[in-house]
């Protein structure tokens, strides 16, 4: 796979709801003045923000106290629990990047045959398996190189379909005429598309790192804007990524490069942690992962 250059506009496109979720603080509140300030920096109108707040309020996810930019938004637990990175998976990404999670050559497969009468559950289990990084080998049979059994079992239990699932592992997988693990991975997963997402993240992260390391100190609103942009772009690149081990990926893999620059950005933001009265909850989630990864990387063998 040839390296591609991805052109990225200076401004990252972020859905209004994602912005609102990104601004939730540890005490489950949002400062409306900060929210409107960051929205403006991202090219959003006040009207967009007001409409999104109204939608979330109608869903019972937000209670607004006060009006306009002076308002305080109190966020319900359902919305608070749904935001932020899955720390376990982000940590696994960085473990893979530093060679701490080598592939053992085992393929993990799951097959399902959920009855037509339970079509909703059948669709849900398929979406759940794909969300865990699985790729379809053929109808109803999915594969991953990662040990996903605990997550598959949790998914099956939640949907009450364990009786319709078959799980197995093998070191001898052949897909059509393909026997090489790398060739199989290239056939089953859209690696070019995934790589393009990481190339975009790399470009965005490098641009923001240049701003963060510039002698000119960023204002609180500028720091919050960078935080939201990085988190949104990381989510956009990571969601379709099955987290294949490096042994199955073209090298150099842009995801590894992008996450390294992203970690450098987060480290810079962590150095400025005292400059804001209250950093968003999401910031602490990412910062905790970077601290863990840094601590492991600095520890002696």
pLDDT, one tens digit per residue, over 144-173 is 999 999 999 999 999 999 999 999 999 999
pLDDT attached to residue 84: 61
Whether the per-residue pLDDT at 4 is higher than 80: the answer is: no
Structure tokens that stand for 233 in this block: 């772009």
pLDDT one-digit tens code per residue, 112-152: 999 989 999 999 999 999 999 999 999 899 999 999 999 99
Nearest one of 96, 150, 80 to 296, comparing CA atoms: 96
Cα separation, 180 vs 21, in Å, equals 43
pLDDT one-digit tens code per residue, 55-94: 999 999 999 999 889 999 999 877 777 666 677 888 899 9
SS3 172: coil
Q: What is the DSSP letter of 133?
A: T
Cα separation of the two ends of the chain: 34
- Given a contact cutoff of 8 angstroms between Cβ atoms, the answer to whether 106 and 248 are in contact is no
What is the pTM for the complete model shown? 0.86
Beta strand ranges found along the chain (DSSP E): 29-31, 62-65, 72-75, 107-112, 135-138, 141-144, 165-170
pLDDT attached to residue 85: 64
Opening angle at CA 130, ends 124 and 132, nearest 5 = 105
The bridge status of strand 72-75 relative to strand 29-31 is antiparallel
Of the pLDDT bands very low, low, confident and very high (cuts 50, 70, 90), residue 8 is very low
């Amino acid at each position: 796979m040839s390296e591609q250059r991805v052109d990225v506009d200076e401004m990252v496109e972020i859905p209004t709801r994602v912005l609102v979720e990104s601004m939730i603080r540890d005490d489950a509140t949002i400062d409306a003045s900060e929210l409107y300030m960051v929205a403006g920096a991202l090219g959003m109108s006040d009207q967009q923000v007001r409409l999104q707040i109204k939608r979330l309020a109608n869903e019972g996810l937000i209670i607004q106290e006060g009006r306009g930019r002076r308002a305080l938004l109190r966020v319900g637990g359902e919305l608070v629990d749904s935001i932020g990175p899955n720390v376990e998976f982000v940590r696994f990404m960085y473990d893979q990047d530093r060679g701490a999670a080598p592939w053992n050559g085992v393929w993990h497969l799951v097959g399902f045959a959920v009855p037509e009468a339970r079509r909703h559950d059948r669709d849900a289990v398929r979406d759940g398996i794909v969300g865990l990084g699985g790729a379809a080998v053929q109808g109803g049979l999915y594969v991953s190189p990662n040990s996903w059994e605990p997550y598959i079992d949790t998914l099956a239990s939640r949907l009450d379909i364990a009786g319709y699932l078959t799980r197995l592992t093998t070191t001898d997988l052949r897909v059509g005429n393909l026997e090489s693990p790398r060739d199989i991975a290239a056939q089953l997963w859209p690696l070019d598309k995934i790589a393009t997402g990481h190339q975009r993240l790399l470009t965005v992260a490098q641009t923001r790192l240049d701003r963060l390391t510039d002698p000119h100190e960023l204002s609180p609103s500028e720091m919050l804007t960078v935080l939201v942009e990085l988190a949104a772009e990381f989510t956009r690149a990571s969601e379709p990524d099955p987290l294949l081990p490096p042994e199955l990926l073209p090298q150099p893999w842009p995801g590894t490069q992008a996450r390294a620059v992203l970690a450098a950005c987060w480290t810079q933001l962590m150095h400025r942690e005292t400059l804001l009265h209250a950093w968003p909850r999401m910031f602490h989630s990412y910062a905790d992962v970077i601290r863990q990864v840094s601590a492991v990387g600095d520890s002696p063998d």
